[in-house]
Amino acid sequence: MPNQPNKKKSQVTPSPERRRELLDTAAEVFAAQGYNATTVRKIADEAGMLAGSLYYHFDSKESMLDEILSTFLDELWQGYDSVLAAGLGPRETIEALVTESFREIDRHRAAVAIYQKESRHLAAQPRFHYLTDSQQKFEKAWLGTLERGVREQVFRADLDIRLTYRFVRDTVWVAASWYRPGGQHSPEEIARQYLSMVLDGIAVLS
């Protein structure tokens, strides 16, 4: 009797939608508990599946974190690069960067929270070195725009550029700690309010 050919086990190929759902779940757990404190079992529990089943989709929690952060940063830079290439004035560039930042918080709130908490120590690992590259590029874009604004007399000459950058950066991105998609205000409306306070102050002009 001839040997029967070995039948390969069918591989379960996750749909893009299911993969996205699992990554969203993992991002929420990482953001709430921290990367080191999060286990694959915890992510699987939150996703309503067995821990072993999660390995059909991802080979490790590190791979999940990598995809969460790289997806967020790729989208962020698509938006930022479009703004920076648009030839806007310094004030309009700051306005557009702030608005784009809030849109990214709306799309990737948990990823932003993870980035804020974890990026410093993750960047020391070769797999996550792109976090350092992104941070340097981010700083260059914002500082360059502020410096151009002072040079073109759009912003005050007495500004401490680096202090201003840190203030605007932290004021915007800390919103990830309280912002919830679908709330009372759209990302664009929140950006408008923030920009009004940052660029024009809160005191009534006499």
Give the model confidence (pLDDT) of 134-188 as tens digits: 999 999 999 999 999 999 999 999 999 999 999 999 999 999 888 888 888 899 9
Contacts of 206 (CB under 8 A, 6+ apart): none
Tell me which of 10-14, 87-91, 95-99 is least confident. 10-14
pLDDT at 10: 42
- Among 192, 198, 134, smallest CA distance to 169 is for 198
What Rg, from alpha-carbon coordinates, does the chain have?
22
- Among 130, 13, 12, smallest CA distance to 71 is for 130
Find tokens 């821990």 and name the residue: 51
Instruction: Render pLDDT for 98-125 as a digit per residue (tens, 0 to 9).
Output: 999 999 999 999 999 999 999 999 999 9
CA 135 to chain centre: 12
**Where do runs of H (alpha helix) occur along the chain?**
16-33, 40-47, 51-54, 61-84, 90-107, 109-122, 130-151, 161-173, 187-200
- Among 110, 133, 107, 103, smallest CA distance to 30 is for 110
